[in-house]
Structure 1
Amino acid sequence: MPGRGQAILGAMSARLRLAVPAIAAALGLLASGCGTRMSEDEVRAGVQTGPVEIAPESLEQLRSAGSAPVAAPAASDPGGATAPAAVGSTPGGPAAPAAQPGEVQVDAAVPTAARGSAPASARSAACTGREAPLPIGQIGSFSGVMGPITASGRTALAVWVKHVNASGGLACHPVTLYVMDDGMDPSRGAAAVGTLATQHKVQALVSLWAPLSIPAMRSAIERYRLPVVGGDSVMPDWYQHPLLFPQGAGLNGAVAGALRQAVDAGFTKIGMLYCVETPLCAGVQDVVSKYAEQMGAKLVYSSPVSLTQTDFTAQCQNAKNAGVQSFGMGVDGSTITRVVRSCAALGYRPQLISGAMLVSAAQANDPGMRQNTLSVSTPNAPWMLTENAGQKEFAAALDRYAPGTPRDAVSLASWAAAQLFVVAIENLGDATRTAPITSESILTGLGRVKNETLDGLAPPITFSPGQKSAHEHNCVYYALLTERGWEAPRGNKYVCF
């Protein structure tokens, strides 16, 4: 895809002129050039759970992104949601506002059962089927250079809405989801918060995938006092703000975990490549250098590179001469594959270090990257396993409502964020069945989260009532890409730093 790759790199360079923290730049720059394809049907129907209107450029970006389409369950599927309602209507509840261009509306289904609720015989008296829908919002960079790696987070949340509504909604309230694309523009992200709060009356933002926009969103989140439940979790804002509630570790944990795995495998001489398009890229190197020293490794080589660079022979030769055993990559995903090819031409195949949520399905299939091996860490349980209750529920729902869609770190993190939201509602007790669920009540439920593992999807999560910010626990899981594909070297055991 040379033509498309050059276009993406050009767009990336323009976007990275934004004066945002190094962590945000790192995520944007490491974004894959190829990823999971979302078919036109999936984009226009929100995994067949509701009507969609989306900007043409966003639709084209999603349509051309990568691999597997999403299908809806057969009409005869007794557990599937009802047919999509017309825009602006919600079965069994008051009319919902119409979706605006650039956003996705996933309407609620009629509740039939409830996760963690009483048996159906006892439930029938409590749930009337006319409970008010619970509107929630999602904001993500679903178009532009980040679209390929964030798309699966959007799909996973849409699948979760279908899954939870088919099981009765939350505390008898069917969930309505509004999704907005910020196009990697912080001002659009901030405006989206206002739109969701004022036009759609959302009571929480769930599973955010817009790291470049989170700093700009903060004032709007505070103005409307919206709890933000889970998402990319890499920006420092997640651990500095009272209304943000991450479902996993942040950037420090991700870097430390990936390095620790490489060092434990005997790779103690570390190299680093980082982009020149913005000085913010160098911030990633600072984190790598910090943790490498703590873990008994040494950063023996580092070099700036360009994202438009096609050949890395000089960098590969210099790294080889320096004895680099494992290469950290502060560049985008397509650049990583070009680095691998250049090094292989010299007979040099260093092990690679990156982040789990920055590696697309297409990249994971690259034979060169698999031969080198790639160590990553992830804030939530390994997505390729189905060993615990949380992983099994996630895999079963994705297979049922989006068959053919590969699981990845982003989709599982998005699902974990939604499950954290479920726990917050469950913490409020049965009173929520007869009263509207509000932002304030959700904050109350989040403040009661204690040692919550989300059925095995996360290390223990604890929040406090009225907390100033979430605690950054830096506990992560290992994943390793080899010629056999993705593996979990420690299974579902997490490591804390």
Structure 2
Amino acid sequence: MALVAGCGGSDITEAQAPGVAAGGDTGTSADTGAIDSGTTGTTGAATGDTGAAAPGAQTGTDPAAAANAGTAANAGAAAGGTTGGAAAPGTKGGKAGNAAGGGKAGGAAAAGGSAVERTVASHAIFGGNAPCKPATLSEVAIGNVSTLSGVLGELFSPVRPALETWVASQNACGGLNGHKIRLYIEDDQGDPSTASSKVQAMIQSKKVLAFVGNIQVLTVDAVKPVIERSGIPIIGADITNATWFGSDKLFPQGPPGFGVAFGYLDGAVNYFKKKNVGNIWCIEVPRACEQINRAMKELAPEFGATFKKDIQVSITSPSYVQQCLDFKAAGVEVLAMTFDAASMNRLARSCSQAQYFPKVLPYPLGVGNEKQFLQGNKWLGDAYVTMNHFPWFGNSTPAEKYWQASIKKFNPGFTSGGAASLGWTAGALLVAAAAELPAENPTTADLLKVLYQFKGQKFTELGGLTGPLTFNEGGTPKVPYCLFAGIANADNTGWAKAISKPKCTNKFAPSDPQGK
């Protein structure tokens, strides 16, 4: 297999952040505690074509300042400069003029990047260098309906603070093409009928233009018909199963579970250097877990691996000793664990009792709440967590640095995990979709128009937060398997390494509908 490197409802608005310069834009939260948003000043004028930032006033601090100091050669968006800078990444050599404050526009954009691509690339959320300015245009209503209570709700709960952080930071840095974001969040409690009714109610009463980052592992099949009838899309989701990849109104921000199976095998063979693999998977989410299990069997020969055994279990089981003995007898050297983190820790205790110590591959959304996973159980030490989202603890790329700085500024200390990464990347995808929202009367159609331009070009990688995305009006999405990873430390108390550059393949598992 060829691998390619790289590749009860509440609403949230903005409020002034502590320490932000006087005169900042201030808002309040209607139903929940306000999320600090504050304002950010712009850096000084860029000089000529060098793009070096000249001294200038900073009334606030751009959360991405540490990552984007304003010194990049030929940076665009000059404040009062004489020429625009070089075209954003994806173009070659031309000057894209977008001087703010009276400077003359630069030359025509070079081939290799559309207007949307350049606009998207400039956003701080993607590691771009455009100045941060608070959103001042009319509010845009955006919805989220997720499973936020119960056993699975605790696992998925980090999506909420991640989206709250996104709203605060994005409203402080341009909003949705200048529009302030008002986010409404509802809990579907893992019940399909509740999910469909709350989605419908939010469309009717809140007039949302789109949903963002819905975590609906058990409820998406009930919600999909509502979305298709209404035409109101879901932008970014939990991407656990094929349903998210079966409509032109659903916009996944990363690969499906079939791709997770690819990541499992890559971890087993290329990280652990072992080829005898197995998988323990859950009864409670049968479609998603079965799809991963089947794809793992299908893809194993491509990696030269041998799929030795799989066992389906319930996440409510108090012990897995017998299953550990069965995997041990089958010669499974590397074990994928396709269920939640609490069950992983029970499995660890059971297998330690059975004197079975394989290398382990946790399911990424199983680490949706990292505190449930990082319990100091050494059996889970050195775990290789393949991820169909960027590693939330990463801090190496400009986009990751902006994510970390935004948390520090607007929402420090929240419980993070894979669900948080999914929510943040969903928000980033919505920012990209909003690149052509008009100042007056923005509509869902404006978002869809841009999303259907996503054809795998570099700009759709959102600054490295995801791999290439292709969306097709009247068809279905196509998202190649691009997997990030995280490696737990030996004591399972934290993270030893974040792999922030994904490995990608252009192959699909035979059972993945995308490959047909």
| Structures share fold, TM-score greater than 0.5 | yes
Which of 237, 241, 252 is the equivalent residue of 1:246?
A: 252
Please tell me whether the aligned partners of residues 370 and 481 of structure 1 are also in contact (alpha carbons under 8 angstroms): no
**Whole-angstrom CA distance in 2 between matches of 1:467 and 1:328:** 36
Q: Does 1:416 align with 2:425?
A: yes
Corresponding residue SS for 2:413: coil
**Whole-angstrom CA distance in 2 between matches of 1:493 and 1:329:** 21
Q: Does 1:202 align with 2:215?
A: no
Shift in Å, 1:327: 1.6
Shift in Å, 1:272: 2.8
Which of 173, 184, 198 is the equivalent residue of 1:167?
A: 173
Shift in Å, 1:457: 0.9
Q: Does 1:441 align with 2:450?
A: no
Please tell me whether the aligned partners of residues 111 and 174 of structure 1 are also in contact (alpha carbons under 8 angstroms): no
Q: Does 1:263 align with 2:269?
A: yes
Instruction: Give the AA of the match of 1:266.
Output: K
Give identity over the alignment, percent: 26
**Whole-angstrom CA distance in 1 between matches of 2:167 and 2:363:** 27
Shift in CA distance, 461/285, structure 1 to aligned 2, threshold 3 Å: closer
**Whole-angstrom CA distance in 2 between matches of 1:179 and 1:81:** 23
Q: Which residue of 2 aligns with 1:392?
A: 401
Please tell me whether the aligned partners of residues 106 and 177 of structure 1 are also in contact (alpha carbons under 8 angstroms): no
Any stretches of 5+ residues in structure 2 without a counterpart?
A: 1-7, 43-61, 63-74, 81-98, 103-132, 508-516
Higher share of residues assigned helix: 1
Instruction: Give the AA of the match of 1:307.
Output: I
Q: Which residue of 2 aligns with 1:10?
A: none
Normalising by structure 2, we get a TM-score of 0.71
Q: Which residue of 1 aligns with 2:310?
A: 302
Shift in Å, 1:388: 1.5
**Whole-angstrom CA distance in 1 between matches of 2:399 and 2:159:** 17
Instruction: Give the AA of the match of 2:495.
Output: W
Q: Which residue of 1 aligns with 2:466?
A: 458
Please tell me whether the aligned partners of residues 117 and 171 of structure 1 are also in contact (alpha carbons under 8 angstroms): no
Corresponding residue SS for 1:480: strand
Which of 333, 337, 346 is the equivalent residue of 1:325?
A: 333
Normalising by structure 1, we get a TM-score of 0.73
Q: Which residue of 1 aligns with 2:489?
A: 482
Instruction: Give the AA of the match of 2:211.
Output: L
**Whole-angstrom CA distance in 2 between matches of 1:146 and 1:109:** 30
Q: Which residue of 2 aligns with 1:23?
A: none
Instruction: Give the AA of the match of 2:252.
Output: P
Instruction: Give the AA of the match of 1:398.
Output: I
**1:68-147 pair list within 5 angstroms:** 73-74=17-18, 82-85=26-29, 87=30, 131-147=137-153
**Whole-angstrom CA distance in 2 between matches of 1:411 and 1:481:** 18
**1:21-36 pair list within 5 angstroms:** none
Please tell me whether the aligned partners of residues 482 and 502 of structure 2 are also in contact (alpha carbons under 8 angstroms): no
Instruction: Give the AA of the match of 2:450.
Output: G
Corresponding residue SS for 1:133: strand
**Whole-angstrom CA distance in 1 between matches of 2:195 and 2:304:** 41
Please tell me whether the aligned partners of residues 11 and 183 of structure 2 are also in contact (alpha carbons under 8 angstroms): no
**1:8-23 pair list within 5 angstroms:** none
Shift in CA distance, 284/186, structure 1 to aligned 2, threshold 3 Å: same
Shift in Å, 1:47: 7.6
Q: Which residue of 2 aligns with 1:402?
A: 411
Q: Does 1:291 align with 2:299?
A: yes
Moved more, 106-115 or 264-273: 106-115
Please tell me whether the aligned partners of residues 46 and 158 of structure 1 are also in contact (alpha carbons under 8 angstroms): no
**Whole-angstrom CA distance in 2 between matches of 1:495 and 1:129:** 36
Shift in Å, 1:160: 0.9
Instruction: Give the AA of the match of 1:327.
Output: L
Please tell me whether the aligned partners of residues 13 and 182 of structure 2 are also in contact (alpha carbons under 8 angstroms): no
Shift in Å, 1:461: 2.5
Which of 463, 477, 489 is the equivalent residue of 1:470?
A: 477
**Whole-angstrom CA distance in 2 between matches of 1:272 and 1:147:** 24
Shift in CA distance, 235/311, structure 1 to aligned 2, threshold 3 Å: closer
Instruction: Give the AA of the match of 2:305.
Output: A
What is the alpha-carbon root mean square deviation over aligned residues?
Answer: 3.4
**Whole-angstrom CA distance in 1 between matches of 2:415 and 2:470:** 30
Q: Which residue of 2 aligns with 1:8?
A: none
Shift in CA distance, 328/232, structure 1 to aligned 2, threshold 3 Å: same
Paired positions, count = 412
Shift in Å, 1:279: 6.4
Shift in CA distance, 445/308, structure 1 to aligned 2, threshold 3 Å: closer
Which of 191, 202, 213 is the equivalent residue of 2:197?
A: 191
Q: Deviations over 1:443-477 (max 9, x none)?
A: 0111223432211211222334x241111312111
Q: Which residue of 2 aligns with 1:223?
A: 229
Shift in Å, 1:354: 2.4
Q: Which residue of 2 aligns with 1:348?
A: 356
Shift in CA distance, 176/257, structure 1 to aligned 2, threshold 3 Å: same
Q: Deviations over 1:94-151 (max 9, x none)?
A: xxxxx6xxxx7989979878999967788799x9987321111111101112222221
**Whole-angstrom CA distance in 2 between matches of 1:454 and 1:482:** 29
Please tell me whether the aligned partners of residues 336 and 363 of structure 2 are also in contact (alpha carbons under 8 angstroms): no
**Whole-angstrom CA distance in 2 between matches of 1:437 and 1:140:** 25
Shift in Å, 1:168: 3.6
Corresponding residue SS for 1:146: helix
**Whole-angstrom CA distance in 2 between matches of 1:107 and 1:491:** 28
**Whole-angstrom CA distance in 1 between matches of 2:432 and 2:18:** 30
Q: Deviations over 1:372-415 (max 9, x none)?
A: 43222212332222121211111111111111225432212211
Shift in Å, 1:162: 0.9
Shift in CA distance, 321/183, structure 1 to aligned 2, threshold 3 Å: same
Instruction: Give the AA of the match of 1:403.
Output: P
Shift in Å, 1:275: 4.5
Corresponding residue SS for 1:199: helix
Instruction: Give the AA of the match of 1:473.
Output: P
**Whole-angstrom CA distance in 2 between matches of 1:325 and 1:284:** 19
